[in-house]
Structure 1
């Protein structure tokens, strides 16, 4: 005979740790979110304000199953949900396989018999788990009003592929291979686990990346951050939290936060430095983490729930994760179930439409951020619609030789702590060489294209043996031209910069072309005309 008791305090749960762990060990559980350490850490940090009810099913005074639930009341209806809703991507009951059907049937009957005004919401149940089929069969056989809603869950099964060939075929996808090599040419790139004194850096990185977007994870929020920090302390042979970081010149530019549980790695979240976004650091760290997981003997790399496109670049299989909404016999409970199911259906459809998700996360998030800041709000208003005209100037190469000039090429790493850090990273990615005097950046040079930082693309230089120089000041221009006297020099100037145009003409530059730039919302266009280009010149997109 079964009976059950309800645990409502963390201290009570501690006495059942061994029974809980023994069940999961026997079942070879690979769901990190139902491990005792994960559950107890959640309860001790962000779960203290929740009305937690862990139902323990007993048989002959032995705990044989645990149902981790929490209770809420809404308009007279009792809502029981799996705990950590919105934090745990997966959830399930803790029970041995041979007992699952009987235990699930017993407790559900007991709950709905005791409370008819009950609504049960069970999120994160994988369709690969027997729980999903057993639960649905029980609901059908007993005539319950219920609905379920699915979200895709891509994963990579290492045993199903020749991993070296698998990675080789994808090494150039989305330019990942090219971006990594470009970053390595600019400085020292390393990948290794987060150090104990670097915790604050990953949360700062995450917060910085999402400040102009809508973040639904709350990873770096004041409420949830203590929980994710506490998980970093858990390191045992069955379950551990892993944080690995991609570093450029010893500085963290991306990190991957996830859980390893008995041969399954579950990716939870990642963050990266927005200044390096053009290198695709998220994709770079995904590839490094996949290689690491394979080398460490993981069997499954779980990309977790969601329709994000990058997950399908690496997957071999997909499953689905369900949320069940179940109503008791009470009419109010059935009405509430109908409304919740309707909302869940709409969300399910929206999440499948990634352009809409991106609009909400990025465009709407940026709009909300701008509205909170008067300065950003005014800047966004003026940037809605723009028209600019740029003139291209040419100075033919000279024959005079000059003594060594003071300018030197600067390494990107020397500018990572400067106020112009983001600009330096972007220009380095675009192929510019940065020059300065005494370590102070003064101008930049490109040997194949000319472009302004606000342009989405560049144009090939009209002649060979030439350079494009940008970022210069009028008082330094003549000296800069001396430094590149043996090459044809090109510069651009905005129509409003009359002082620069006067300085250019004084030195001997000639106007050889014009570029019109227009921008409306997220759309942008460039048109060049009257360019004295040699045959074969073309657009060069960067």
Structure 2
């Protein structure tokens, strides 16, 4: 389909078409300011092949200006039930495992305008569009968000925070000295206690040195953590196996582990991409929980990242004390929903989200506060 200004929109609907896009997908992504490992063909295709294709309909859109690829909307269609209605819901591929999403583009204004025209053309086929974890600080994403908000569709957004530690301009020693006195005291005390239990070692696995056996060792630690079933699904295991296969030679995927003697007690699983580390998953053996092995592993990991000259260490989504303890900076992200208000059920859903839901949540919050006050009196 051609839109105004000679932008051609092509819809990708089969896994075979998706598989063939690797070279041009990444060539486009690496020209973008908003490049991220979660937006690479490798991450997106591995997730779709092993998880997405069994539950969703592929809805990737390619945007060409003349013969040049200028944008990709990595979308999928799901069926959701809300308010006793069935909704045809477009969302970013990888949701909810994906920590970063956007419309990939070197011409954001042209791409998002063409997307809106295409959605209008296909208005009988969708009810809502959702993008989760969009970086709201980059110019390209700001253009996309502003254009969606100014469109005739219903638009709703919620704020998120991603924490990160800038690594450039400081040494590890300078950074460590800026941590709170209490934090440094606890780290030193726990490091001493854990050293009394055996030989403490830090091991990093990346590139061609990273094997599936290393991943399985990590999984054994995860089985003793707060999320013992995280890597037990066959589909999820296949997804991670493909990630390793696709990314290993590129040096993008990395596992770090803390050992006492030969026993692994903590791990971090993430990505080394665009000169930054993205800390995706972590876990500890709960038998050693009082020693905070996750924090001790982070000491070794951060020191290593400073020495490598990376520009930042990104904790990704989620506001938790184990992140804020490290004095990180925060970056604004946003989740957005676009409602196709040309049909009545989407219009009702938008009215609920924008007007009624905040009132209900406010009333429930006040009721909870009253209950807490009564309990304390």
| TM-score class normalised by the smaller sequence | 0.7 to 0.9
Check 1:134–1:340 CA distance in 2 against 1; reply closer, same or farther (3 A cut).
Answer: same
Which of the numbers 52, 61, 64 marks the counterpart of 1:58? 64
| 2:346 paired with 1:333 | yes
Which of the numbers 222, 233, 256 marks the counterpart of 1:206? 222
1:425-465 deviation line (CA, Å, top 9, x unaligned): xxxxxxxxxxxxxxxxxxxxxxxxxxxxxxxxxxxxxxxxx
State the distance in 1 between where 2:356 and 2:234 align: 28
What corresponds to 2:313 in structure 1? 301
The correspondence of residues 7-156 of structure 1 with structure 2, limited to 5 A, is 7-27=12-32, 30-49=35-54, 50-74=56-80, 75-96=85-106, 99-115=107-123, 118-156=127-165
| 2:241 paired with 1:235 | no
Contact 1:33–1:89 (CA under 8 A) maintained in structure 2: yes
1:93-142 deviation line (CA, Å, top 9, x unaligned): 2221xx11111111122213421552111111011233442233213433
State the distance in 1 between where 2:148 and 2:34 align: 25
Check 1:68–1:211 CA distance in 2 against 1; reply closer, same or farther (3 A cut).
Answer: closer
What corresponds to 2:278 in structure 1? 266
Check 1:343–1:298 CA distance in 2 against 1; reply closer, same or farther (3 A cut).
Answer: farther
**What is the number of equivalent residue pairs in this alignment?**
341
| 2:232 paired with 1:226 | no
State the distance in 1 between where 2:326 and 2:356 align: 31
1:242-289 deviation line (CA, Å, top 9, x unaligned): 111100011110000111111121111111111111110111112211
State the distance in 2 between where 1:310 and 1:205 align: 18
State the distance in 2 between where 1:132 and 1:208 align: 40
SS in 2 for 1:115: coil
1:68-109 deviation line (CA, Å, top 9, x unaligned): 00002343532111111110011112221xx11111111122
Offset, 1:343: 11
What corresponds to 2:369 in structure 1? none
Contact 1:172–1:178 (CA under 8 A) maintained in structure 2: no
State the distance in 1 between where 2:327 and 2:174 align: 14
The correspondence of residues 322-471 of structure 1 with structure 2, limited to 5 A, is 322-329=334-341, 330-339=343-352
SS in 1 for 2:29: helix
Which of the numbers 228, 248, 264 marks the counterpart of 1:252? 264
Offset, 1:200: 1.9
- Asked which structure has the greater RCO (Cα within 8 Å, sep 6+), the reply is 2
State the distance in 1 between where 2:218 and 2:15 align: 29
Check 1:200–1:181 CA distance in 2 against 1; reply closer, same or farther (3 A cut).
Answer: same
Offset, 1:219: 4.6
Max Rg structure: 1
| 2:291 paired with 1:286 | no
State the distance in 2 between where 1:259 and 1:176 align: 25
SS in 1 for 2:59: strand
SS in 2 for 1:89: coil
SS in 1 for 2:271: strand
Q: How does the TM-score come out when normalised to structure 2?
A: 0.82
